[in-house]
C-alpha cells in the first residue's frame, strides 16, 4: 500500500512525538521511503522534525535531509551538533554531503568536517567544495567504479567488488590508464563472457561521453538528455577521471532552471517560494511591476500626443486595448518559442534566417487577423477609412511584435543574459508601447489628420 500523508497521519505523528513514544514512531516510519518521510517532516514544526531525525537511523535520515525543503533542513541542522551532522554526512555520497556542508556557516563547516572519521570521505568533500555549484564539478560525486586497462579480468572483478561497497548504484564501469586518464568504459557482458586472464585493454569500449569539470551544469544536462545517459564521467583538462554525475542530479538542475525561467517569465527577478516573507516577495516582484508602471505611463503619454485624433475618431480609443494586447501576445509567443529552442539547444540556422521565418509567420497571421478585424469594424462603424486604419495598424503591429519577440531573446543569449526574461513583462511592456505608437501613427496617416 502506498504511503499517503493525511491529516490523521500528521496528527498521529505529532502525538507520538509529544508522548516520546519512540517504538510507535519507529514502527510507523522506520520502513518507509526517505522521500515520503521528508514530505511528512515538511508538515511538522521544527521541534517535531528534529526529534524524528535524531530518532531514526542515520542511514535513513541522511537521505531524508537531502529530500526535505532547504529552509527546513537549515533549521534542523542548527539543532544538530557537529558530531550528529558528521554522522549523517558519512552515510551520504560525496556530492550530497558537500551540498549540505556548503549550506553551513563557514566556522561550522570546519567543525563538522573535523568530526568525520573517514579521511578519504573528508578529502573528497573538501575537493568538491572548491568547485562552482553550477558547474560539472559542483554536481559530481567521487563515488564510482573504475578499472585499469592493464588489469586482467580476475583482478578487475576483485577491485570492482571492493569499490562497489561505497557506490550506491553502479551505472557504468570506467576504464583508466596508469596515469588515471579516462580511456573508455567496460561492458559487464564482455566482462562476464571473457577469459579471466584477458586484459581489460583488449575488451573495453574506447568511446565514452564525458564532460569537463568546469562545464556549466546546464550544458551537462543538455548532453545527458541528448544521449539518454543515466550517468556521465567528469574529467579535468588533461582527461583525468575525477568523478561522475548521475541523472538524479541532472533532474534537479532541469527542475531548478525551469522554475527560474518560469518566474522570470512571470516577472519575478529572483528565486522565491510560496512561504517566503512578504519582503522577499516584494523585492522579487517590484522591479517588473515598476517597469509595467513606466510602460503604462509611457502609453498614456503617447495617447496624449494624439488627443486631437482621438477626439475626432473616438472609435480609435476603443481599439487601443486590442492593439496593445495583440502586440504583447504575439511578442510573448515568439519569444517563448525562441527561449524554448535555446533551452533545448535545437535552434538551427542564423539569426537572419530565424527573423525571416518569424516575419513570414507574422505576415500570415497578421493578414488573417487584420481581414477579420476590418470586416468587423466596417460592419460595426460603417467607415471604410477608419476600418482600413485599424486593420493596417494591427497588421504592422503583429509583424513588429513577432520580430522583436524573436530578436530580443537571441540578442540576450548572445550577451550571456538569461533569455527567459524576454518572455515576461519586459517583452509585453515594450511591445505594448510600440504597438500603441504604431497604431496612432498609422491612423493619423491614413485618416489625414
pLDDT value, residue 271 = 63
pLDDT value, residue 211 = 96
Of all residues in the chain, what percent carry a pLDDT higher than 70?
92
Residue 211 near residue 234, CB atoms below 8 Å: yes
pLDDT, tens only, 199-250: 999 999 998 999 999 999 989 998 998 888 989 999 999 999 999 999 988 9
CA–CA gap between residue 435 and residue 396 (Å, rounded): 9
Residue 138 has pLDDT above 90, yes or no: yes
pLDDT value, residue 264 = 62
pLDDT value, residue 291 = 75
What is the topology classification, in CATH, of domain 145-246?
CBS-domain (3.10.580)
pLDDT, tens only, 376-407: 998 887 788 889 999 999 999 999 999 988 88
H-run or E-run covering 243 = strand 241-246
How many CB atoms are closer than 10 A to CB 222?
A: 17
Q: What confidence category does residue 273 fall into, taking pLDDT thresholds of 50, 70 and 90?
A: low
Least confident of 163-177, 277-291, 432-446: 277-291
pLDDT value, residue 87 = 92
pLDDT, tens only, 293-325: 888 888 888 888 888 888 888 888 888 889 988
Write down the H helix ranges in 150-216.
153-164, 188-193
CA–CA gap between residue 68 and residue 137 (Å, rounded): 23
pLDDT value, residue 309 = 86
Only one residue has cell 567496460, namely 186
CA–CA gap between residue 23 and residue 41 (Å, rounded): 18
CB proximity list for 419: less than 8 A, separation 6 or greater:
335, 338, 339, 342, 408, 409, 410, 412, 413
> What's the DSSP call for residue 123?
H
Backbone φ and ψ for 203, nearest 5 degrees, come out as -125, -10
H-run or E-run covering 317 = helix 315-318
Average pLDDT, rounded, for the chain: 87
Q: Using CA atoms of 241, 246, 251, 256 in order, give the dihedral in degrees to the nearest 10.
A: -40
- Residue 436, SS3? helix
Q: What confidence category does residue 263 fall into, taking pLDDT thresholds of 50, 70 and 90?
A: low
| Range 276-279, long-range pairs (CB < 8 A, 24+ positions) | none
pLDDT value, residue 324 = 87
pLDDT value, residue 143 = 92
Which homologous superfamily does the CATH classification assign to the domain defined by 278-447?
Answer: SLC41 divalent cation transporters, integral membrane domain (1.10.357.20)
pLDDT value, residue 215 = 95
Q: Whole-model pTM above 0.85?
A: no
Q: What confidence category does residue 418 fall into, taking pLDDT thresholds of 50, 70 and 90?
A: confident
> What's the DSSP call for residue 270?
S
Residue 341 has pLDDT above 60, yes or no: yes
Q: Would you kindly state where each structural domain of the chain is located, as residue ranges?
A: 7-134, 145-246, 278-447
Hey, which residues does 243 pair with through a beta bridge? 234
pLDDT, tens only, 403-415: 988 888 888 888 7
pLDDT value, residue 277 = 73
How many CB atoms are closer than 10 A to CB 277?
A: 9
Architecture label for domain 7-134: Alpha Horseshoe (1.25)
Residue 356 has pLDDT above 90, yes or no: no
Amino acid at each position: 500500500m502506498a504511503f499517503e500523508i493525511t491529516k490523521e497521519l500528521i496528527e498521529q505523528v505529532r502525538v507520538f512525538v509529544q508522548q516520546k513514544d519512540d517504538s510507535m514512531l519507529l514502527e510507523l516510519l522506520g520502513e518507509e521511503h526517505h522521500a515520503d518521510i521528508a514530505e511528512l517532516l515538511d508538515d511538522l514544526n521544527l521541534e517535531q522534525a528534529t526529534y524524528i531525525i535524531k530518532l531514526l537511523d542515520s542511514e535513513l535520515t541522511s537521505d531524508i535531509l537531502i529530500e526535505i525543503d532547504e529552509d527546513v533542513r537549515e533549521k534542523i541542522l542548527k539543532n544538530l551538533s557537529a558530531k550528529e551532522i558528521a554522522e549523517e554526512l558519512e552515510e551520504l555520497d560525496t556530492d550530497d554531503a558537500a551540498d549540505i556542508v556548503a549550506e553551513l556557516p563557514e566556522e561550522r563547516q570546519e567543525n563538522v568536517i573535523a568530526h568525520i572519521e573517514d579521511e578519504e570521505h573528508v578529502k573528497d568533500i573538501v575537493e568538491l567544495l572548491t568547485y562552482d555549484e553550477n558547474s560539472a564539478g559542483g554536481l559530481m560525486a567521487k563515488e564510482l567504479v573504475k578499472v585499469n586497462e592493464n588489469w586482467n579480468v580476475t583482478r578487475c572483478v576483485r577491485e570492482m567488488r571492493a569499490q562497489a561497497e561505497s557506490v550506491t548504484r553502479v551505472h557504468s564501469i570506467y576504464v583508466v590508464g596508469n596515469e588515471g586518464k579516462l580511456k573508455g568504459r567496460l561492458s559487464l557482458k564482455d566482462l562476464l563472457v571473457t577469459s579471466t586472464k584477458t586484459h581489460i585493454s583488449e575488451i573495453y569500449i574506447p568511446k565514452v561521453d564525458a564532460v569537463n569539470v568546469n562545464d556549466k551544469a546546464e550544458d551537462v544536462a543538455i548532453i545527458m538528455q541528448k544521449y539518454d545517459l543515466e550517468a556521465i564521467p567528469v574529467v579535468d583538462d588533461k582527461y583525468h577521471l575525477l568523478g561522475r554525475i548521475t541523472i538524479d542530479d541532472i533532474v534537479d538542475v532541469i527542475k531548478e532552471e525551469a522554475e527560474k525561467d518560469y518566474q522570470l517569465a512571470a516577472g519575478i527577478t529572483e528565486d522565491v517560494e510560496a512561504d517566503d516573507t512578504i519582503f522577499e516577495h516584494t523585492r522579487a516582484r517590484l522591479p517588473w511591476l515598476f517597469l509595467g508602471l513606466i510602460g503604462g505611463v509611457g502609453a498614456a503619454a503617447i495617447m496624449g500626443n494624439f488627443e486631437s485624433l482621438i477626439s475626432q475618431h473616438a472609435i480609435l480609443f476603443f481599439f487601443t486595448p486590442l492593439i496593445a494586447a495583440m502586440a504583447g501576445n504575439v511578442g510573448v509567443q515568439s519569444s517563448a518559442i525562441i527561449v524554448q529552442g535555446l533551452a533545448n539547444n535545437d535552434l538551427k540556422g542564423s539569426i537572419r534566417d530565424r527573423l525571416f521565418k518569424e516575419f513570414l509567420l507574422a505576415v500570415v497571421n497578421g493578414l488573417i487577423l487584420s481581414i477579420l478585424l476590418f470586416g468587423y469594424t466596417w460592419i460595426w462603424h460603417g467607415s471604410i477609412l477608419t476600418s482600413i486604419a485599424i486593420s493596417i495598424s494591427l497588421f504592422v503591429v503583429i509583424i513588429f511584435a513577432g520580430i522583436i519577440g524573436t530578436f530580443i531573446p537571441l540578442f540576450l543569449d548572445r550577451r550571456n543574459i538569461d533569455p527567459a526574461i524576454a518572455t515576461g513583462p519586459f517583452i509585453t511592456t515594450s511591445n505594448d508601447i510600440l504597438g500603441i505608437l504604431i497604431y496612432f501613427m498609422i491612423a493619423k496617416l491614413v485618416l489625414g489628420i
